[in-house]
Amino acid sequence: MKGTRLKLMLHLYNWSSSVYANIFKWNKKAWGISKEEFLAYPLGSIGHGLGLFYLSKGFDVMAKLENHDVFHIITETGTEIQDEIAMQYLLLGNGKISLYLIGMIVIGGILFPEHFKYYKKTFHKGRSLQKFHHIEFKDILHYQLTEFQIALYSKNIQINLNK
């Protein structure tokens, strides 16, 4: 049964990611940066971390969805299907609302109820972080990843995007 649920959710996720990028992100430009170009960013930077993420996972850059991949590296959230669902819970906790997010939470929660404690934990994690879901990370790829994460997890450090 779990194999069937997984296949269904992976199919929906792959299909919906493409639809989401083309319909809901119609007015957003792709970053136009390759995996190799991300790896050319300074060591320790968000951009370099993104390049390492793509390399280690064997992923290609999905145009218009690059910010989502940055969410994975700054929050250290995995990429298995339950992690993708958990990411939506995390983003909801962080204040993001979208039709796609709600759909993933509802369908993922129904298909994988055994991960509810994990989803609840990531929702609370999202609430505890400074707001980040609105940031256009292309503009700050040169920022040091660790420094950004420290600021993200701290209520006492103001995230200043004017560097």
pLDDT in tens, 73-104: 999 999 999 999 999 999 999 999 998 899 99
DSSP 96-143: ---HHHHHHHHHHHHH-GGGHHHHHHHHHHHHHSPP-TT--GGGGTTS
10 Å CB burial of residue 139 (0-12, 13-18, 19+) is exposed
Give CA angle at 16 (117, 88), nearest 5°: 25
Cβ 76 vs Cβ 66: under 8 Å: no
Give CA angle at 90 (117, 118), nearest 5°: 15
pTM, whole model, 2 decimals? 0.85
Looking at residue 64, its pLDDT comes to 85
CA distance 23 to 36: 28
pLDDT by residue, tens only, the chain of 163 residues: 567 776 666 666 666 666 555 565 556 788 999 999 999 999 999 999 999 999 999 999 988 889 999 999 999 999 999 999 999 999 999 999 998 899 999 999 999 999 999 999 999 999 999 999 999 999 999 999 999 999 999 987 777 665 4
